[in-house]
Amino acid sequence: MRILSGIQPTGSIHIGNYLGAIKQWIDFQEKNECIFFIADLHSLTIPYKPEELQKNIFEAAIAHLAVGIDPQKSVFFVQSHIKEHTELCWLLNTVCPVGELQRMTQYKEKAKQFKGNVNTGLLVYPVLQAADILLYKTQGVPVGKDQVQHIELARTIARKFNQKFGKVFPEPKALLPKLGAKIMALNNPKQKMSKSLGPQSYVSLFEDSKEIKKKVMSAVTDTGKVIKYDPKRKPGVSNLLTIYSLFSNKSIKELEKKFKDKGYAQLKKSLTQLLIDSLDPFRRKRKELLTREVFVKETLKLSAKRAQPIASSTISETRAKMGLV
């Protein structure tokens, strides 16, 4: 299966991004044809500092290589290095109904969050995402739950295009993890853990031990003392159990048994240690990669060269179907 997914270089990559998306990418790359990219064009839709963008892209690249994206197995590049993403976005804009874009949850949330900067890019974001996916005739897109609506729209766009101009694109499927598709914020377990909610909502993949301890120990839990997985009534503790389960490979049932009669403080202490131990190899690998700037940049360039022929071929096919040749 051809798999594709991306991440924005908008700040620290957190355990929500990892458990919801990146961890799956690493598993998929063993048996599938995988394409991963840093979505720098998407990141332009929210306020940013141009002088910091290249550093953020480099940081995002290092983060992925440090956690296990293997450029020998996967194609891994920077979105803006392949110009066909934006060309296909424009072509697909002509088949995407504007009403569909206006009802996207992420657009509504971001428009509220960045009231002073509701730009057209924010509205058209899902069309660029559809272009990213369809440009490589992707079949599976491993994402967290928040992105499912966008993948559905990519399917709609593919279908509309194929009906109007003749078949070019397969309809991609969202691939969600069974557990961890929506990791909640540590300081507010009713909201999704998110970079833009601020650092108190997440543990970053390279956080130092002191910070991990502070954040986990002060994570919002629920009333009562029983450690039980019940996302509706006990969102805080259920979120901690989910994170624990995914990093330890122990089932939720096993964990409920392990922490029965132990109380929240014990669960948090144990989770703190688990996170420190699990994230330590990532931290060390990142430190090493920070000293290998040329290698990282060359890797991204070489990967873009591998992606380019697929992108060029799809664009030629699309242009021909649309009468542009």
Instruction: Give the binding site for ligand AQP (CB under 6 A).
Output: 7-8, 10, 16-17, 20-21, 143-144, 146-147, 181-183, 192-196
195 is catalytic: yes
**Are the C-beta atoms of 163 and 131 separated by less than 8 Å?**
no
For helices 105-113 and 148-165, the axis angle rounded to 10 degrees is 120
| Radius of gyration in angstroms for the set of CA atoms belonging to the chain, rounded to a whole number | 20
List b or e across 122-133, with b for residues whose CB sees 16 or more CB atoms inside 10 angstroms.
Answer: bbbbbbbbbbbb
Nearer Cβ to ligand AQP (1/265) = 1
Under a CB-based contact definition with an 8 Å cutoff, are residues 273 and 244 in contact?
no
Q: Residue for token digits 């990141």? A: 43
Ramachandran bin of 188, using left for φ above 0, alpha for ψ from -120 to 50, beta for the remaining angles: beta
Rounded CA-CA distance 40/79 in Å is 6
CB of 306 to ligand AQP, least distance (A): 22
Position with the least CB separation from ligand AQP: 20
What's the distance, Cα to Cα, between the start and end of the chain in Å?
31
CB of 69 to ligand AQP, least distance (A): 13
SS3 of 169-204: CCCCEEECCCCCCCCECCCCCCCECCHHHCHHHCCE
Q: Taking the complex as a whole, how short is the minimal distance between the CB of residue 129 and ligand AQP, in angstroms?
A: 9
Query: How far apart are alpha carbons 255 and 92 in whole angstroms?
Result: 47
Q: Which one of 73, 145, 160, 195 is the catalytic residue?
A: 195
The amino acid sitting at 3 is: I
Active site residue 23: no
Q: How far apart are CA 45 and CA 294, in angstroms?
A: 29
Q: Which of residues 162 and 188 has its CB atom nearest to ligand AQP in the complex?
A: 188
- Spatial contact of 161 and 95, defined as CB atoms under 8 Å apart: yes
- Is residue 192 part of the annotated active site? The answer reads yes
Residue from 192, 215, 234, 268 carrying the catalytic annotation: 192
Residues 6+ apart with CB under 8 A from 99: none
Which of residues 160 and 195 has its CB atom nearest to ligand AQP in the complex?
A: 195
Closest approach of ligand AQP to the CB of residue 177, in Å? 8
In whole angstroms, how close is the CB of 220 to ligand AQP at the nearest point? 15
CB of 196 to ligand AQP, least distance (A): 3
Closest to ligand AQP by CB, 188 vs 312, is: 188
Q: Which is nearer to ligand AQP, 13 or 315 (CB)?
A: 13
Read off the tokens for 132: 């990213």
Closer residue to ligand AQP, CB minimum distance, 94 or 113: 113
Closest among 179, 192, 144 to 252, alpha carbons compared: 179
Q: Which residues are catalytic?
A: 110, 192, 195
